[in-house]
Amino acid sequence: MWELRHRGGCPGPGGAVAPPPREGEAAGGDHETESTSDKETDIDDRYGDLDSRTDSDIPEIPPSSDRTPEILKKALSGLSSRWKNWWIRGILTLTMISLFFLIIYMGSFMLMLLVLGIQVKCFHEIITIGYRVYHSYDLPWFRTLSWYFLLCVNYFFYGETVADYFATFVQREEQLQFLIRYHRFISFALYLAGFCMFVLSLVKKHYRLQFYMFAWTHVTLLITVTQSHLVIQNLFEGMIWFLVPISSVICNDITAYLFGFFFGRTPLIKLSPKKTWEGFIGGFFSTVIFGFIAAYVLSKYQYFVCPVEYRSDVNSFVTECEPSELFQLQSYSLPPFLKALLRRETVSLYPFQIHSIALSTFASLIGPFGGFFASGFKRAFKIKDFANTIPGHGGIMDRFDCQYLMATFVHVYITSFIRGPNPSKVLQQLLVLQPEQQLNVYKVLKTHLVEKGILQPTLKVSSLKRLVF
């Protein structure tokens, strides 16, 4: 068979007949080179068309099953599909908001666990799409390596968080001291192990596709893990920096849907045919008003405005502090046209309310583009939703596609315009120093404060004795 093929008598892949050897070619080493070339051509013909595939070549994913509770199906059986979907979305939305309030009441630690759970679920939904699309190629170790990389990246980011905010706790545990001291080296070693596993898993006929999925996994990690880490960083700045942005996105999602449902006439973007300009504009004004009011209400309570800190003496997170100027009422002069309208010269506001306008504006104008991006992604793979976890809503990623953009913006906003030196964080870093280093820092700080006139210079013992006697 092999001889027939090289003589031109046996069809190659796809029915093509292999050309006979060119004149003057030897049958020795040249035959071996030609055999290798034919094998590579065989593989390229069979698997090399991946780069040129169009959207129509993407294999379709089976539609998700309907997970709507039977009691809801029976109660809404007489309604049209449009109103049935409206009621299902509304009931499930109220249920999720109620659960969110319960978790807020349970404290910041439960909110961190919620963020971690959402991150893992979003990662699972995106990776599952990739696996379903390419499952027929039987990629070796794809899912195993995807979850391994998720574990590695989470270990790195959450280890950094522990080192920053739990220094006093780490100081008491010798095992944790070793892990924190060499944390980045351990993280890098774990990633290298996964990288080597990926290289060893490469199969000749799957090269391109395996590298596609390698990139798929890393982009998914960038979207989910990195952003969830930023969400938790925002939470440590104060629960209000977590709640106002997230609730603004939720408010925009709800109000844009309502305005679009009842008043929508003009399509907004082709990626999402159901999105309308009426919903987009109505959602914008509603979100700005909501964010302004929510900022006023939450700024009154230490529980929401104080940075989240871990106290080793009580072994728990605490939110107790003297609120910064950002959360203290200030008087602002009104513009002339508002003075005439409101018949008052000044108005009392929390400075954070002004910042909330920027947060709400981003949530309503730029945040939806995260949803448009997700819509384009789903259209590329011919799916309606990322999953069917929440009836009427789709998957977890369908509900949090805008939140990731918001998390990054809030983190950049805080570091650019809000955050100053964090005394508690500096103190925790000082506590893990050696006694000699702590004493040196004390002497330098004392000298600095004396020079600025904040502390009175202390008299030496010899000078004190001469004054007494």
What's 17's DSSP letter? B
Mean of pLDDT values over 286-300? 96
Return the SS3 of 459: coil
Residue type for position 44: D
Q: What pLDDT band is residue 60 in, cutting at 50, 70 and 90?
A: low
- Residue 329: name the closest of 295, 359, 304 by CA: 295
- DSSP-derived secondary structure letter, 316: E
pLDDT at 31: 44
- Residue 364: enclosing H or E segment and its boundaries? helix 351-365
Taking a C-beta distance cutoff of 8 angstroms, is the pair 357, 334 a contact?
A: no
Span 124-148, mean pLDDT?
81
197-202: list long-range contacts, CB under 8 Å, 24+ apart: 197/141, 197/145, 197/148, 198/141, 198/145, 201/140, 201/141, 201/145
Ramachandran sector of residue 323 (left: φ over 0; alpha: ψ -120 to 50; beta: rest): beta
Residue 402 burial by Cβ neighbours in a 10 Å radius (0-12, 13-18, 19+): buried
* Residue 41, pLDDT above cutoff 70: no
Q: What are the tens digits of pLDDT across the range 243-264?
A: 999 999 999 999 998 999 899 9
Q: Tell me, what's the pLDDT at 135? A: 65
pLDDT digits (tens, 9 = 90+) for 322-336: 898 999 999 999 888
What average pLDDT score do residues 385-397 get? 83
Predicted pLDDT of residue 83: 81
CB 164 within 8 A of CB 250: no
CA distance linking residue 217 with residue 463, whole number of Å: 71
Between 291 and 75, name the one with better pLDDT.
291
Longest dimension (CA), the chain: 120
pLDDT above 80: residue 194: yes
pLDDT of residue 65: 59
Domain ranges for the chain: 2-49, 82-314+355-422, 433-468
Average pLDDT of the chain is: 81
The one-letter code for the residue type at 385 is D
Query: Looking at residue 420, what is its pLDDT?
Result: 64
How much is the average pLDDT of 75-91? 79
- Judged by DSSP in three states, 219 sits in helix
Q: What is the pLDDT of residue 412?
A: 94
Q: For residue 187, give Cα distances in angstroms to 155, 167, 219, 319, 337.
A: 7, 19, 19, 31, 59
| Measured distance CA(462)–CA(456) in Å, rounded | 18
